[in-house]
Structure 1
Amino acid sequence: MTRRAALRRTLAFLVALGALVGAAPAGAVPAAVEIAPGVTYEEFDLPAAGGTTHVHVLGVDLGVPDTRLGLLYPGAVAARATVSRMAGDQGAVGGVNGDFFNITESQHPGVEATGASVGPAIAEGRALKGAVPNGQRFGPAMPSGVTTEAVFGVGADRRARLDRLALDGKVSTPEGTLPLGGFNQYALPVDSVGAFTGEWGSASRARATCGTDTDRAAACSTETYEVTVRDGRVVSASGTPGGGAIAPDTTVLVGREEGARQLRKVATGDAVTVSHSLVASASQEAFGFALGGYPVLSGGEPLPGLDDRTSAVRTAVGIADAGRRVLLLAVDGSSAYRSGLTIAEVAEALRARGSTEGFSLDGGGSTTLVTRAPGASTVAVRNHPSGGAERPVPNGIGVFSAA
């Protein structure tokens, strides 16, 4: 496609989108339905370069005291459930799917996919996991300069924001202090030590030592070591990563390459302490909840280099009114609309509806938007999942109302 043709294509999309959200005839966009105080739901057709698509949007006013956003997850990092089940179990009135995740392990025979998400995650102010190395990410290419540490979340000030969350941690042993390279992650940096807690779940930790920082498909490390710490003392060790549930008072340390060599210096009975936290790059307020993905809109402008050719079913979140209003957008996966949107079109769609910041979440067969109809006791799936049924996912964004 020539530069002039690409420009014509983009201008046509913007003109059509502007007509839809600005000067559309009466009835072109159905009035939003109130799901709960400060929470609305609407669906409408959206013109796109690949053909008309259909989108579902949840609008959330965080200025309403009884309304909030939170992390949907199945109770463990390395686990998956459908959005409708997580929303129902947690009492949400609506929600969408969340981060990209470790969905398959065809490159590593004998190693099971963990189902764990790519980026950091925080639930109710509690850090659940850190971000895997950039090269270990599942999902489409990110914009230039973006890392797996990117998050969308809501702070203690009840304002939504985008940021980066980096892991800050250490392991103190009689031999010295080691930097902590990972926290409840399906992939650890080369030469590092990672910590796994009860939040991880019961999935095998073997995947954490496979691949490299730049190549997800690289072979699993041949030099690994695992140490189990309970109540501040080493109680056991193993030459290979294990699996199974981890008790609340226990931390399992997994090392690869140089990290494994350092852990081998620790003996049973030694005192070992582990500390970890997720540190925000820009936010002054602590996050009440956060999850990973990647930004597509910043300061009201699309990030440079966004893909404008590949149309697909997408899920995204927009931030408007200085973080007081949030839009949760899901493209319908019905065969009639499956051409979907490009990432560039997602950014424009969010901006056209008032968002100044935009964030892409997992799409394709994962894309799901659920709401509870007024008076109903359970949520229902509003879009048509492209796989024909809901895909189990590791997390999502839940909309909660105490009203």
Structure 2
Amino acid sequence: MRHHDARVRTTLAACAAFAALAGTALAGAAPASGAEGGGTTIAPGVTYEEFDIPAAKGLTHAHVLSVDLRAPHVRVDLLHPDAVGARATISSLADASGAVGGVNGDFFNITESQHPGVEATGASVGPAVASGRTLKSAVPDGQRFGPALPPGTTTEDVLGVGVDHRARLDRMALDGSVRADGRTLPLGGLNQYALPVGSVGAFTSDWGSVSRVRATCGTDMNRAAPCSTDTYEVTVREGRVVSSADTPGKGPVASGTTVLVGREAGAQELRKLSEGDRVEITHRLVAASSHVPFRFAVGGYPVLRDGAPLPGLDTKTAAVRTAAGATSDGRHLFLLALDGAPKYRTGLTIAEVADAMGKLGADDAFSLDGGGSSTLATRDPGAASVTVRNHPTDPPERAVANGIGVFSKQ
């Protein structure tokens, strides 16, 4: 991020930038209490606003949360179900965690029509960090769900907030290994719905109960390729092998237990282990650029860096979108979700998303899952539950893999 004078990129400036675009209010949208001309204060340092955006394919309607990360009682974290391999609505996740607002997050394994009999996991594509704890790493680029990645981006790209309360873009790769009998194997995945060909992946209690078979389907370049016929699974408890199986299983993974799943060459290596063997498993996510640990990180892909749109962004396909962006100093975060009501459903192209986020005041911006997943919810002061502010394209509200939650303790 560039560290020019961030004073010109405040929430007030963002409101002014879109003042000329603001048209008629969204018919039927749930009004936020206390709404005024400059938006609604959800909590100190957190405001909500909605406005129209004229776009190439028609008028669309945006819902935006502006978050001042300098506010002493404000923080941002990952909204997620109890398991990586699970889905829940943003409103239920926000209510359960006490968030004052939030949007949906990463793309996820939503269907398995190309692999009959294989269970879709609901797990997200990219890395996920919640409250400083790593939940999962990224699947291979060719295994992702969602639109094609812009040139130069990868499933390892994240948007996150560090322990310094600054938002930033980065890339997070898995660094892990399996050591046994004097051999060291690189770890190819952590709680992922797709493992690289020939690798070994680890599944912990964070994964949940869903089947691990999907992890051995497809290839690094082709999500629809057949499932591997050469697989093996080893269960390690308290540092020792306790069981093995020829095919990946399902069911909860107990605390203190790791299930290793191998495919092809990885399966062949796991077959060398016997019950009672000692196994040491290590894993962590390593950020490519940041020297400050992430408190929270979510996957997606960048659309704006240092105030400039990424080259090669799609200018033709318009859709309902969700995006997040930060000012150059990382002190302000903008969360945007478009409305899915029929009147506005043409949405924005990815290039238009980058432009819109720049006009809001973002120096860096990140595209999240869209379409039927796009959701923005806020909690009115004193309310027991949040209200979904935009209209889902496929009502009712879609269950998603994760989201970005905004919290305020007063």
Q: TM bucket by the smaller chain?
A: over 0.9
1:267 aligns with 2:274: yes
Q: Deviations over 1:55-113 (max 9, x none)?
A: 00000000001001000001110000000000000000000000000000011111010
1:59 maps to: 66
Q: In 2, distance between residues paired with 1:306 and 1:51?
A: 19
Contact 2:328–2:364 (CA<8 Å) still a contact in 1?
no
Pairing 1:344–2:340 present: no
- Residue deviations 1:266-288 (CA, integer Å, cap 9, x gap): 00000001000000000010000
CA drift at 1:19? 11
Contact 1:70 1:123 in 2 (8 A): yes
Aligned-residue sequence identity (percent) comes to 66
Unaligned segments of structure 2, at least 5 residues: 1-13, 26-36
Deviations, residues 175-212 of structure 1 (Å, cap 9, x unaligned)? 51100000000000000000000000000000000000
Any conservation in 2 of the 1:73–1:395 contact (CA below 8 Å)?
yes
Cα gap change, 1:294 to 1:25, in 2 (>3 Å): closer
Residue number in structure 2 paired with 1:305: 312
Describe the shift of the 1:23–1:116 C-alpha distance in structure 2 as closer, same or farther (beyond 3 A).
closer
Query: Which among 176, 180, 183 is matched to residue 176 of structure 1?
Result: 183
Counterpart residue number, 2:225: 218
Verify: 1:328 aligned to 2:335, yes or no: yes
* Shift, 1:148, TM fit: 0.3
Give, as a single letter, the amino acid of the residue that structure 1 aligns with 2:187.
L
1:241 aligned partner, one-letter code: P
1:83 corresponds to: 90
Alignment of 1:28-67 (within 5 A): 30-67=37-74
Q: Within 5 Å, which residues of 2 pair with 1:86-125?
A: 86-125=93-132
Counterparts of 1:382 and 1:394, CA distance in 2: 19
1:343-365 deviation per Cα after TM superposition (whole angstroms, max 9, x unaligned): 00000001011110000000000
SS in 2 for 1:77: coil
Distance 1:26 1:134, change over 3 A: closer
Q: What root-mean-square deviation, in Å, do the aligned CA atoms of Structure 1 and Structure 2 show?
A: 1.5
Q: Matches of 1:19 and 1:398 in 2, distance apart?
A: 22
Which runs of structure 2 are paired with 1:2-401 in the superposition (5 Å)? 21=17, 24=20, 30-401=37-408
Question: Does the 8 Å CA contact 1:175/1:265 hold for their aligned counterparts?
Answer: no
Residues of 1 paired with 2:75 and 2:336: CA distance? 17
Encode CA deviations 1:240-289: one digit per residue, 9 max, x unaligned.
Answer: 00000000010000000000000000000000010000000000100001
Aligned residues of 1:333 and 1:385 also touching (Cα < 8 A): yes
Deviations 1:29-77 (A, max 9, x none): 9421100010000001111111111100000000001001000001110
- Whether contact under 8 Å (1:78, 1:116) holds in the other structure is yes
Distance 2:318 2:154 in 1: 23
Over 3 Å counting, the alpha-carbon distance change for 1:359 and 1:19 in structure 2 is: closer
Contact kept, 8 Å, 1:20 with 1:28, in 2: the verdict is no
Q: How far has the Cα of 1:122 moved from its partner?
A: 0.4
Contact 1:175/1:266 (8 A) holds in 2: no
Read off the aligned partner of 1:99 and give its amino acid letter. D
Q: Give the number of aligned pairs.
A: 386
What amino acid sits opposite 2:366 in the alignment? F
Residue 279 of structure 2 aligns with an amino acid whose one-letter code is V
Contact 2:78/2:404 (CA < 8 Å) preserved in 1? yes
In structure 1, runs of 5+ residues without a counterpart are 1-17
Amino acid of the structure 2 residue aligned with 1:159: R
Q: Structure 1 CA distance, aligned partners of 2:279 and 2:159?
A: 34
Give the SS at the match of 1:253: strand
* Aligned partner letter, 2:115: H
Shift of 1:375: 2.3
Per the alignment, residue 3 of structure 2 pairs with none
Q: Which residue is equivalent to 1:12?
A: none
Mapped contact 1:152–1:162 kept (Cα < 8 A): yes
In 2, Cα distance between equivalents of 1:217 and 1:117: 17
Q: Distance in 2 between matches of 1:334 and 1:373?
A: 22
TM-score under structure 2 length normalisation: 0.92
Query: What is the CA–CA distance in structure 2 between the aligned matches of 1:385 and 1:26, rounded to whole Å?
Result: 21
Whole-Å Cα distance in 2 between the matches of residues 333 and 401 of structure 1? 28
Partner residue in 2 for 1:13: none
Q: 2-side partners of 1:172 and 1:65: how far apart?
A: 44
| Structure 1 position 24, deviation (Å) | 2.8
Aligned-pair CA distance for 1:389 = 1.4
